[in-house]
């Protein structure tokens, strides 16, 4: 007979990390960072038909200091890359990034000098969402998958070590223009 059977009804046993993860996943505050056609689909997701408010994402924040989720929707130009990084750096910890669309994920059809070939060369990305442009249902599905990832996120020094490792990997990533002919 375990401890659960001896407790009165209505008593829940869990860990601090479990409660913190549940609260974080239920209260994402996304930053507005729409750059191209994917931004229209992102705005549609916040409308009455799809209603992101069901998932605790009531308002898209205009200030990065009030946001903990950056949805990069669309292609990122070389001139916009430092601005993207500055906004990411201004967001408080913990923070997550969702690359929405094939242009944000890999540069899309724009394989030239002006477009960053994947936003993961600038900021660490937690979730990639393919499509050109991805439908609002796909964005909601990616957000729900990110909810699962956030709920299982560690706290404290383990989280800081994970963030530093992800950023180091993203900053040392080989550009896709140099990956031609490589088979992995």
Report domain extents, the chain.
31-172
Residue 38 annotated as binding site = yes
Alpha-carbon distances, residue 159 vs 83, 120, 165, 183 (angstroms):
25, 19, 10, 33
* 132 close to 105: Cβ distance less than 8 angstroms: no
Residue 77's Cβ-count burial label (10 Å; 0-12, 13-18, 19+) is middle
Cis amide linkage into residue 91, ω under 30° from 0 = no
Mean pLDDT, the chain, whole residue set: 84
Domain covering 31-172, topology: Rossmann fold (3.40.50)
Residue 180 annotated as binding site = no
pLDDT at residue 179 tops 60: yes
Least confident of 46-50, 65-69, 137-141, 176-180: 176-180
What's the pLDDT band for 93 if we cut at 50, 70, 90?
confident
pLDDT of residue 45: 87
Q: Which residue has the higher pLDDT, 81 or 25?
A: 81
Residue 59 annotated as binding site = no
pLDDT of residue 68: 87
* 33 close to 70: Cβ distance less than 8 angstroms: yes
Average pLDDT over every residue of 49-75: 85
pLDDT of residue 145: 92
Written as one string, the DSSP assignment of 106-150 is: H-TT--STTB-S-GGGTS--SEEE-SSSPPHHHHHHHHHHHHHHH
Give the CA diameter of the chain.
66
Identify the residue whose tokens are 């957000």.
143
Residue 103 annotated as binding site = yes
pLDDT of residue 4: 67
Residue 116: how many other CB atoms lie within 10 Å: 23
pLDDT of residue 128: 92
DSSP E strands in the chain: the ranges are 30-31, 69-73, 96-100, 127-129
């Amino acid at each position: 007979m375990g401890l659960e059977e001896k407790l009165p009804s209505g008593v829940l046993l869990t860990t601090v990390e479990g409660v913190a993860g549940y609260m974080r996943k239920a209260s994402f505050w996304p930053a507005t960072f729409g750059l191209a056609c994917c931004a229209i689909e992102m705005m549609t997701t916040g409308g009455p038909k799809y209603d992101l408010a069901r998932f605790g994402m009531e308002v898209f924040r205009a200030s990065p200091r009030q946001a903990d989720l950056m949805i990069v929707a669309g292609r990122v130009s070389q001139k916009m890359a430092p601005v993207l990084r500055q906004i990411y750096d201004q967001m408080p910890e913990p923070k997550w990034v969702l690359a929405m669309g094939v242009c944000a994920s890999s540069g899309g059809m724009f394989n030239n000098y002006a477009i960053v070939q994947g936003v993961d060369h600038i900021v660490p990305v937690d979730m990639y969402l393919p499509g050109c442009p991805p439908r609002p249902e796909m964005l909601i599905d990616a957000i729900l998958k990110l909810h699962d990832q956030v709920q299982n996120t560690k706290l404290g020094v383990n989280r800081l070590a994970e963030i530093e490792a992800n950023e180091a990997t993203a900053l040392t990533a080989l550009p896709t223009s140099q990956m031609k002919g490589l088979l992995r």
